């Protein structure tokens, strides 16, 4: 009887070992390269920040961090891939306000659930937007732009990073507050949208400071306002929207790291700790200041709270604007 009992127990143990998810000790993670899925075009704010953090994270973890850009469909393509990825801590999403907090309100049949299919890992920071125009545009302030747009309804075109993207919602909020009509021209990411404004294909754009700062300093774009509570250290000479003629207008957005739901807590905690260290380094803070990003270290739970609140906040903005998928 004892012999048979030992056989049964041994067999049960083997089956449990085969069917149970692999355990992950702190010392086991990571032991291979990590993939950052970026659902935005190369060169935009999210991409630049992803590469900056990825380089430092690779050093901290002793494993390569590879960036894979999957632009298009307002971030849906990249988010879908990560939602379906193995929850092992090696495929991560660099998500932003648009893909994680705005999309759920825009798409009734969204193919991923930002809350149920993802686990917040660490917030990188907030990116303030800047209103830029083609140099041929005559307005020197946001107030003058409003007056011009009101005088010629629907004549001026604004670029965005795609329907429902952060730049799109920023422009829609601007239109509502300014009482001005503008024509929306969506692109597959911030970079092509900025390029269209540089060439004059479109007249203006709301975009992250990182995407536009070089072009502003070179004179290929002209900045009318920083759309946050204070001026950007990256562009200290550019007034806020409050100062430039549209009081109360603010459009800043966060960028952060997410893992597929079910990722072991050991991996989440290790990534969170390392990202927080990176974001609080003096050299990193100075580098982020240049591209208009304010670091926002915190716990995964704090990031999850921010996500939940923003899903609610942006759903109200989408309903108010009457936006529907195009």
pLDDT, tens only, 33-75: 999 999 988 887 788 899 999 999 999 999 999 999 998 888 8
SS (H, E, C) the chain: CHHHHHHHHHHHHHHHHHHCCCCCCHHHCCCCCEEEEECCCCCCHHHHHHHHHHHHHHHHHCCCEEEEECCCHHHHHHHHHHHCCCCCCCEEEEEEHHHHHHHHHHCCCCCCCCCCCEEEEEEEEEEEEEEEECCCCCCCCHHHHHHHHHHCCCCCEEEECCCCCHHHHHHHHHHHHHCCCCEEEECCCHHHHHHHHHHCCCCEEEEEHHHHHHHHHHCCCEEEEECCCCCCCCCCCCCEHHHHCCCCCCCEEEEEEEEECCCCHHHHHHHHHHHHHHHCCHHHHHHHHHCCEEECCCCHHHHHHHHHHHHHHHHHHHHHHCCCCC
Residue 20 has pLDDT above 50, yes or no: no
Q: Which pLDDT does position 287 carry in this prediction? A: 86
Residue 271 has pLDDT above 90, yes or no: yes
Q: Looking at the structure, do residues 74 and 172 belong to the same domain, yes or no?
A: no
Q: Which pLDDT does position 40 carry in this prediction? A: 87
Across the chain, what does the average pLDDT equal? 89
pLDDT in tens, 94-115: 999 989 999 999 998 999 999 9
- The larger pLDDT score, comparing residue 56 to residue 230, is at 56
Q: Looking at the structure, do residues 31 and 100 belong to the same domain, yes or no?
A: yes
Q: Looking at the structure, do residues 136 and 236 belong to the same domain, yes or no?
A: yes
List phi, psi (to 5°) of 181: -100, 130
- The larger pLDDT score, comparing residue 170 to residue 27, is at 170
> How many Cβ atoms are within 10 Å of 11's Cβ, its own excluded?
10
Residue 23 has pLDDT above 50, yes or no: no
Confidence of residue 288 (pLDDT cuts 50, 70, 90): confident
Percent of the chain topping pLDDT 70: 91
Domain count, the chain: 2
Q: Which pLDDT does position 10 carry in this prediction? A: 39
- Domain assignment present for 3: no
Domain boundary among 190, 224, 244: 244
Q: Looking at the structure, do residues 141 and 226 belong to the same domain, yes or no?
A: yes
Q: Which pLDDT does position 292 carry in this prediction? A: 79
* Residues composing the chain: 326
Q: Looking at the structure, do residues 138 and 229 belong to the same domain, yes or no?
A: yes
Q: Which pLDDT does position 319 carry in this prediction? A: 84
- The larger pLDDT score, comparing residue 315 to residue 80, is at 80
- Domain assignment present for 158: yes
Q: Which pLDDT does position 2 carry in this prediction? A: 46
Q: Which CATH number belongs to the domain containing residue 39 in this structure? A: 3.40.190.150
Range of the domain at 137: 128-244
- Domain assignment present for 315: yes
Q: Looking at the structure, do residues 133 and 120 belong to the same domain, yes or no?
A: no
């Amino acid at each position: 009887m004892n012999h048979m009992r030992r056989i049964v127990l041994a067999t049960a143990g083997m089956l449990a070992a085969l069917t149970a998810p692999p355990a992950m000790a702190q010392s086991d993670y990571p032991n291979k390269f990590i993939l950052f899925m970026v659902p935005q075009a190369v060169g935009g704010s999210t991409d630049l920040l992803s590469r900056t953090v990825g380089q430092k994270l690779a050093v901290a973890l002793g494993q390569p961090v590879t960036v894979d850009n999957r632009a298009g469909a307002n971030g849906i393509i990249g988010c879908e891939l990560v939602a379906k990825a193995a929850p092992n801590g090696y495929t991560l999403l660099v998500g932003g306000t648009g893909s994680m907090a705005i999309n759920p309100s825009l798409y009734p049949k969204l193919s991923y659930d930002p809350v149920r299919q993802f686990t917040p890992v660490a917030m990188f920071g907030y990116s303030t937007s800047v209103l830029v125009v083609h140099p041929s545009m005559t307005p020197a302030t946001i107030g003058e732009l409003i007056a011009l747009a009101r005088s010629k309804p629907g004549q001026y075109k604004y670029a965005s990073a795609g329907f429902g993207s952060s730049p799109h919602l920023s422009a829609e909020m601007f239109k509502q507050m300014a009482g001005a009509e503008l024509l929306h021209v969506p692109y597959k990411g911030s970079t092509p949208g900025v390029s269209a404004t540089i060439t004059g294909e479109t007249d203006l754009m709301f975009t992250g400071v990182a995407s536009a700062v070089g072009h502003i300093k070179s004179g290929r774009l002209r900045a009318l306002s920083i759309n946050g509570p204070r001026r950007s250290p990256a562009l200290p000479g550019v007034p806020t929207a409050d100062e430039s003629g549209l009081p109360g207008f603010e459009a800043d957005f966060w960028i952060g790291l997410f893992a597929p739901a079910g990722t072991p807590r050991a991996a989440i905690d290790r990534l969170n700790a390392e990202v927080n260290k990176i974001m609080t380094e003096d050299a990193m803070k100075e580098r982020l200041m240049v591209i208009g990003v304010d670091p926002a270290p915190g716990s995964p739970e704090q990031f999850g709270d921010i996500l939940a609140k923003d899903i609610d906040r942006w759903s109200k903005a989408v309903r108010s604007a009457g936006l529907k998928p195009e």
